[in-house]
Structure 1
Amino acid sequence: MARLTVESPLGPLTLTSTAGVLTALDWRTAGAASDNDAVLDEAARQLRQYFDGQRATFDLPMSPAGTPFQKRVWAAMLEIPCGRTATYGDLARQVDSAPRAVGGACGRNPLPIVIPCHRVVAGTGKGGYSGFGGLTTKDWLLDLERRLVLVPTP
């Protein structure tokens, strides 16, 4: 297991990789830097691009730990376009489940931002957010994405 902490406008984010794949992104925790981990270096580069408004999606090898149901929900979240939102009900219909179960899977997402759980909202337009800062962070991420000036990513 390798770790790398990167600075972001939201505070430090600690990335974890195992066996060449990204496995976690933790809010506001500091971890010792690992020696030359290509996946972590690339994840840090892509996160910087995202926060600089130059990247709308992530292209990283990842393997988040979760149940088969959680992984279906996370895959559905990856299909929500940058700057857009979907409701818990929308995703529940897509994965043949209930909105509350989708909300639980969102809250257990080990790769927030990369797997965009912030793009999932309640039918009323908000919903919760388990990331550091709660709804303030969720709103900040959605505002960032709405302002993105998309340029081709390498």
Structure 2
Amino acid sequence: MIFNTTVFAQTQSHIDSSEYILKIDQHVYSIYYVVNSDIIAMDIDPESKSLLIGLENTYDSKFIIDLEHELINAQDNEFVVLVDSQEVDYKITPDSDSSTFEFFVPVGSEEVEIIGTHVIPEFPFSAIFGLIIMISSIIIFTKVKPSFFKL
């Protein structure tokens, strides 16, 4: 008896993931991620050579994010991952074009920072300042009691 079966392989990197489009100058990056949270913003901080990610409505979950080497990279793949300014352990799976990070984010987490040794250059400082103000404003307004907004 001969069985003829066809097997289709599918990479796991973009299955059941969300996509964030990050535009820096003329560059557009598709950042695929999986996390039980709402991503409110992502941006590059060239001063600290890091990717900043603003979160809200976060529940205990594994955060998986795929980042292109052109966007952020580190010598010997020695990144630092901070969740609400606390360093966390992470697993990294590099390939020729990108690296996939996996780490845990606890309930209530509001910011993730992935620090490398190189990020895409030529990003204006004023845009970073604007992002910080925007994220801070969102966090402050979400913490204010809902009765404040009633007329």
Same fold (TM over 0.5): no
TM-score when scaled to structure 1? 0.29
In our comparison, the structure showing a higher alpha carbon Rg is 2
Structure with greater strand share of residues: 2
TM-score when scaled to structure 2? 0.30
Structure with greater helix share of residues: 1
